[in-house]
């Protein structure tokens, strides 16, 4: 399975991805932001570095999926292009593509983002709000995306497990 965990910053994508791979032997937590950080001087051209990280992620995912292992991609995506690439990759290697969007209120996302232990908190409240709005707009064109409303990590992970076990649809 290729699992995309989409959602605004601070909603718990990385935490849930880590928990998923802890429970699924040899599943790969393919965090594109971490991969981008492995590119030399990526800050000099973050757009090019981001595109390179996505290309590397697709190649790594293809290899890992072809070997029979799950891949989890925790990434905020408000444009459809990379989602379509992930979906096409899953079809190419013959695995399920599951698109999950983690949602919470703007206020809770803002609070979580500010509280998290992240030395690079460069996103201001207005930008976070705009990201949230763009994600909601994207959902109108992604009817197969499964929505999981976030609460505590344990409850949200259980909701994720439930939605993974029940097929497409909205929760």
Longest dimension (CA), the chain: 44
* pTM, entire model: 0.91
What CATH code is assigned to 2-165?
3.40.50.300
pLDDT over 70, % of the chain = 92
Residue with the two structure tokens 């649809």: 169
Q: Which residue ranges make up each domain of the chain?
A: 2-165
Q: pLDDT tens across 67-96, in order?
A: 999 999 999 999 999 999 999 999 999 999
Q: What is the pLDDT of residue 109?
A: 76
Residue with the two structure tokens 């809770």: 108
Distance (Å, rounded) from C-alpha 13 to C-alpha 102? 7
Q: Which residues, other chains included, contact 129 with Cβ-Cβ below 8 Å and sequence gap of 6+? A: 106, 110
Which of helix, strand or coil describes residue 73?
Answer: strand
C-alpha dihedral sign at 104, 56, 79, 168: negative
Under the banding of pLDDT at 50, 70 and 90, the label for residue 169 is very low
Token pair for residue 34? 């971490």
Bridge partners for 101 per DSSP: 6, 147
Under the banding of pLDDT at 50, 70 and 90, the label for residue 152 is very high
């Amino acid at each position: 399975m290729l699992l995309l965990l989409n959602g605004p910053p601070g909603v718990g994508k990385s935490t849930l991805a880590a928990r998923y791979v802890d429970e699924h032997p040899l599943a790969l937590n393919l965090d594109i932001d971490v991969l981008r950080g492995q590119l030399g001087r990526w800050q000099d051209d973050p757009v090019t570095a981001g595109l390179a990280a996505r290309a590397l992620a697709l190649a790594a995912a293809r290899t890992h999926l072809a070997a029979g292992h799950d891949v989890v991609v925790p990434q905020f995506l408000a444009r459809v292009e990379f989602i379509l690439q992930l979906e096409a990759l899953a079809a190419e290697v013959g695995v399920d593509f599951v698109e999950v969007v983690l949602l919470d209120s703007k206020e809770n996302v803002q609070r979580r983002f500010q509280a998290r232990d992240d030395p690079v908190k460069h996103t201001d409240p207005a930008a976070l709000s705009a990201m949230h709005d763009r994600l909601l707009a994207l959902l109108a064109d992604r009817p197969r995306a499964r929505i999981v409303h976030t609460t505590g990590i344990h409850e949200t992970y259980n909701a994720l497990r439930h939605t993974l076990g029940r097929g497409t649809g909205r929760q």
